[in-house]
Chains A and B, each alone.
Chain A
Amino acid sequence: MDKQSFAYTVIFTAVVTFAFVLLLAMANELTIEQIEFNQEVRLQRSVLQAMGVEFQDDEQAAELFERVEQIEVNGLGLYSYERDGEQLYAKEYAGSGVWGTIRGHLGITPDGTRTLGLTVLEHEETPGLGGRIDEGWFQEQFRNKRLVDGRLEMTSRDGTGDFDEDSGEIDGITGATGTSDAMARIINDHLQQLTQALGGAA
């Protein structure tokens, strides 16, 4: 058969395309469970971290997560966990950053006066600049942080973090004002929703 003919070209292209799509479908099929499992583990770790619940490894995280309940408080979907008779809450947050959506979990006390912690699951901020929101020092600032007038203030000091639990302030990221402002806006929006929902109960 003439390799340059129209019929050969069409048939060849169709066969090759089919073969490679099949290869991709197989690769996808083989790894889909692992990928879903990874996402599940990440979600569990994130929720627990946001509530300040400590765990050693993925297995322990999965075990602890069994005790996490999904509840609704005044129409707001929350994760709840009881630690030594004390109730902890976490909520998934999402909002637009500089380049894309920032998504994660925010933990809060039942009376809505302190955040318990913050995690970032997903973001598309500039690597090394805004992307540093996924670093430990940035997120640790939200540990047991007291809210001032139901809000947290993003400041721009030296970019090393504000670990004073009562300051009500978060030190933003040097060189990433856009991302820092976006985080402040997203978090305060969700804090408002949280304090409203929880305030109704308290």
Chain B
Amino acid sequence: MSSAAAPGPILRENLWTNNPIFMQVLGICSALAVTNLLVNTVIMTIAVVAVMGMTNLTVAIMKSLIPRKVRMMVQTLIIASYVIVVDIILRAYVPDISRELGPYVGLIITNCIIMGRAEAFAQSNRPLISMWDGMTSGMGYMGVLLSIALIRELLGFGSLFGYQVMPAAFEPWIIMVMPPSAFFVLGIIIWIGKAIMEREGAPA
């Protein structure tokens, strides 16, 4: 990990140069599952941003108290608790979307980006900057997932956020509705991202 511990560089690193999805290629299972409709993706990624921020904050506050032997277990416990809280809130206040997301909200627990950031950053940094790191990593995830969802919903349903934007004659691509298409779109996004980075001369 780089030594950047100021808010600006962290933001840039997590959104772009070290984006969890297209540089580290973490958390792609959910990138496949929740990107067929933009609305679902927005709610899902907001949930991830919230869980990551809170997890990193909590881990950073508690880090000096946690015995090394049970460090991972405690991190998992923290992540799982926040995910369940988010799940309960979604079920109570946006029941329709909660039903659509089904098991995927619960599966945020297994998203490796969260534990990765808790281990790599929150374990060795102060609480507030850790929270910022968690949230920006979540936003990096959000950016990529929204791009995938934009392409998939547009081509798979001919709509954006549920509003029909393609002409009626447009034939929806069924492949875009199915999970494998996210792989193709993700691959193309990684390709574009890396190509731009190379042109900028940033160390990839």
Chain A interface residues (CB < 8 Å from chain B): 3-4, 8-9, 12-13, 16-17, 20, 23-24, 27-28, 31, 34-35, 38, 42, 122, 124, 126-129, 174-175
Contact = CB atoms under 8 A, between A and B. Distances in A.
A9 B67 contact: yes
Given A23-B81, A24-B84, A127-B100, A13 B73 contact: yes
Given A20-B78, A38-B91, A128-B177, 9 more contacts: A3-B67, A17-B77, A24-B81, A27-B85, A31-B88, A31-B92, A35-B88, A35-B92, A128-B178
A127 to B, nearest CB: 6
Given A12-B67, A31-B92, A174 B81 contact: no
B65 A3 contact: yes
B76 to A, nearest CB: 11
Chain B interface, >50% SS class: helix
Contact of B77 (A20, A124, A128): A20
Given A13-B70, A13-B74, A42-B95, A27 B65 contact: no
Contacts of B178: 126, 128-129
Interface of B: 36-37, 62, 65-70, 73-74, 77-78, 81, 84-85, 88-89, 91-93, 95, 99-100, 102, 156-157, 174, 177-178
A122 B100 CA distance: 10
Chain A interface, >50% SS class: helix
Contacts of A174: 174
Given A31-B88, A31-B92, A4 B81 contact: no
